[in-house]
Amino acid sequence: MIKLDNFSSFFVANWKLNGNFQFIDQFINNVSLPTDNSKCVVICPTSIHLDYMSKNKNGFHVGAQNVSEYAEGAFTGEISVHSLSDLNISFCIVGHSERRQIYREKDKGINLKSKRLIENNVIPIICIGETLEHKEKGITKEILEEQLMHSIPSSSSFENSIIAYEPIWAIGTGLTPTFEEIDETHCFIREYNEKFNKYKILYGGSVKASNAREITDLSNVDGALIGGASLKSEEFTKIIGD
Ligand code: PEP
């Protein structure tokens, strides 16, 4: 398992349902990795492209976007943690809001997926976040507490898991909380349970070249999860910095 403490910051590119072999080749040629090797840059392509990305990673780390909560069996179309291990995949996003909202994933399943990943030395990047409605009702903290309590397995620790705070209203919208709000929410997550104090906590939601530095420099932020902007080589190179 990757030693998370070896890195000062993490930049996770979530390509969602985008990219192909040609795109990967161009991306690897065009994106310069930071000279600072304490920055961990993780690319999460589609499942079909994990093998190709893994064989051509050229200094990038590779992550999956999802895994089955089942180890094996009659689950057509699912991808098992053993398949990820076979490809030497180091990270896996779990509980992304698109999975929670479109595919109705619940905390219990996210907990099980994370548990399986940890057992197999793959680091889950466990996503939590509130909707705009939650924010407007002033119940963000209650929602995050609920997600933290139920989606993070007891086997999770700062050494084998990462938390990603992604306000759903900020994903793909160009909107972001203020820097103070981001830092305050990350601080809340750290303090919610003593166990989370040393976790790497990433921020996700409309991170781009113009705000990445200020966000990732916040004292309680250990990196970023990046969607749309991770598909643009030049923009992503600026985000990960030198
Ligand atoms: C995401 O989907 O996890 C994400 C952060 O997307 P975007 O950067 O496009 O808001």
Which residue in the list 61, 96, 134, 186 is annotated as catalytic?
Answer: 96
Q: 172 C-alpha vs ligand 1 centroid, how far in Å? A: 5
SS3 123: strand
d(CA 130, CA 126): 14
**Active-site annotation holder among 69, 98, 105, 166:** 166
Supply the pLDDT for residue 80: 98
Nearest-angstrom CA–CA distance, 115 and 126: 11
Q: What is the mean pLDDT of the chain?
A: 97
- Known active-site residue 186: no
Task: Decide: residue 2, CB within 10 A, 0-12 exposed, 13-18 middle, 19+ buried.
Answer: middle
Contact 115, 122 (CB under 8 A): no
Q: Does residue 242 carry a pLDDT above 90? A: no
Atom of ligand 1 nearest to the CA of 228: 9
Percentage of the residues of the chain whose pLDDT score is greater than 70: 100
Q: What is the mean pLDDT of residues 51-67?
A: 95
pLDDT confidence bin for 95, thresholds 50/70/90: very high
Tokens of 37: 């090797």
CATH code at 10?
3.20.20.70
pLDDT in tens, 10-57: 999 999 999 999 999 999 999 989 999 999 999 999 999 999 999 998
- Is the pLDDT reported for residue 111 higher than 80? yes
Mean pLDDT of 113-124: 98
List, in sequence order, every beta strand (DSSP E) within the chain. Answer: 9-14, 39-44, 61-64, 91-94, 123-128, 162-165, 200-204, 223-226
Pocket test of ligand 1: the residue of 203, 207, 239 to mutate, having most ligand atoms within 8 Å of its CB, is 207
- 131 Cβ contact list (under 8 Å, min separation 6): 143, 168, 169
Residue 208 backbone class (left: φ over 0; alpha: ψ -120 to 50; beta: rest):
beta
| Interval between CA 204 and ligand 1 midpoint (Å) | 6
pTM > 0.95: yes or no: yes
Ligand 1 centroid vs 206 CA: distance in angstroms? 6
Angle between helices 107-119 and 140-151 (to 10 degrees): 40
Domain extent at residue 173 = 4-240
CA-closest candidate to residue 152, choices 202, 103, 195? 195
Domain count, the chain: 1
What are phi and psi for residue 202, nearest 5 degrees? -100, 155
pLDDT tens figures, 167-187: 999 999 999 999 999 999 999
Query: Which residue, by CA, sits nearest to atom 7 of ligand 1?
Result: 227
